[in-house]
Amino acid sequence: MRLIAIIRIVVADCLKEKHKHLLKMSEHNPEMRATAARICRDYLHGVWKHVTPENIVLKRISGGLSNWLYNVQLPEGAIPIRGEPRQVLLRLYGQVHGERALEGLITESVIFTLLSERRLGPKLHGIFPGGRIEEYIPARPLLTKELADPCLSSLIAEKMAQIHKMQVPISKEPTWLWDTMDKWLGTANDILENVEDIDSRHLDNVAFIKTVDLEHEISWFKSLVKQHKHPVVFCHNDMQEGNILLRQNSQKQELVVIDFEYCSYNYQGFDVANHFLEWQYDYTAANYPFFTERSGSGPTKEQKFHRTANRTEREAWLWRCLRKRHPQYGGHNMRECRHCAQTET
């Protein structure tokens, strides 16, 4: 997990120059305002049929290479007449290159639609070529420390269990994990072979990564997973605090899960173990390296078994094994972990 966080930082730094084109997507750009107004007129009903580029309220929430998000609101004084929402979230897809990227967008749209229908995610108001219109949720993302809150943790477990029970019309083969590892391995190797292009602040991280045989670690992990028939279910694959929203202005605590781009059929244990790992990493740091490791803040054995009380002992063992960390991280020795894999069945 730490390696992935470091690699993400390096990649983000290398792509910084490519983000300049986002200026044209500003909410103040007349062309952008005209696009937002036209989409809302075409795909929403009621008073939205009369919005114009001049009278809508448009706020850009975020923007990157893959998505631009905008909060679009009805003009001040406009009154909904048929139960239409006063504000929506407009998502515009960014750069899409290649058949696999297009396939990913289609799959993500299908998943979003199903989760919306089951009220596990935001409501879907419309899908159009190049994006979609979603429910705008007055909410805030959870803080890292809140993942350990007993009440919130139970709600997260319920959401995850509901997602795991879903039957989704996509490939049921658990290839996402291995494909993602191979992709990140390729990215890491490309970066390590061109260290002269890397910010000097990253050189210590690069030196550390070079001490790890990443390809060997992936091969070992594959062999570990293949030793048992671990359940494969539909997984979110990225249940970190930023993707879990706490509704505001609600009488009771209510969570909404967002960002389904990594959803796929996967090993059930991975979804749980990955979530537990997120307890220890806070990505809101303003200064380099832009995340903090919260050593010792991972779940206790009691907390893990509270979350996994209805799971089999074999699955629980896999999650315990995945939580044991590499010596460089100050944790469990890999040889001991292999011994566990052979003896703790």
Which of 8-22, 24-38, 72-86 has the least mean pLDDT?
8-22
CB atoms within 10 A of CB 37: 19
Q: Which of 89-103, 215-229, 281-295 has the highest mean pLDDT?
A: 215-229
Tens digits of residue pLDDT in 135-145: 999 999 999 99
How is 83-140 classified by DSSP, letter by letter? S--SEEEEEEE----SHHHHHHHHHHHHHHHHHHHTTSSPPEEEEETTEEEEE---EE
User: If you average pLDDT over residues 153-181, what whole number do you get?
Assistant: 94
Higher pLDDT, 329 or 180: 180
Report the chain's mean pLDDT, rounded to a whole number: 82
Both structure tokens of 178: 């291995």
Task: Tell me which of 214 and 337 has the higher pLDDT.
Answer: 214
Average pLDDT, integer, range 291-312: 73
Question: If pLDDT is split at 50, 70 and 90, which confidence band does 301 have?
Answer: confident
Q: What is the pLDDT of residue 193?
A: 84
Please state the pTM of the whole predicted model.
Answer: 0.76
pLDDT at 338 over 50: no
Residue 5 has pLDDT above 90, yes or no: no
pLDDT at 335: 39
The CA distance from 120 to 255, in Å, is 9
| Residue 133 near residue 90 (C-beta atoms within 8 A) | yes
For residue 140, which phi and psi values (nearest 5 degrees)? -135, 150
Q: Could you give all domains of the chain from N- to C-terminal order, each with its CATH number?
A: 16-136 (3.30.200.20), 140-343 (3.90.1200.10)
One-letter-per-residue 3-state SS of 217-270: HHHHHHHHHHCCCCCEEEECCCCCHHHEEEECCCCCCCEEECCCCCCEEEEHHH
Residue 162, token pair as written in the block: 């509901």
What's the pLDDT at 12? Answer: 52
pLDDT more than 90, % of the chain: 54
Q: Residue 308 has what pLDDT?
A: 59
Q: CA nearest 256: which of 63, 112, 85?
A: 112
Rounded to the nearest 10°, the torsion over CA 336, 337, 343, 345 is 160
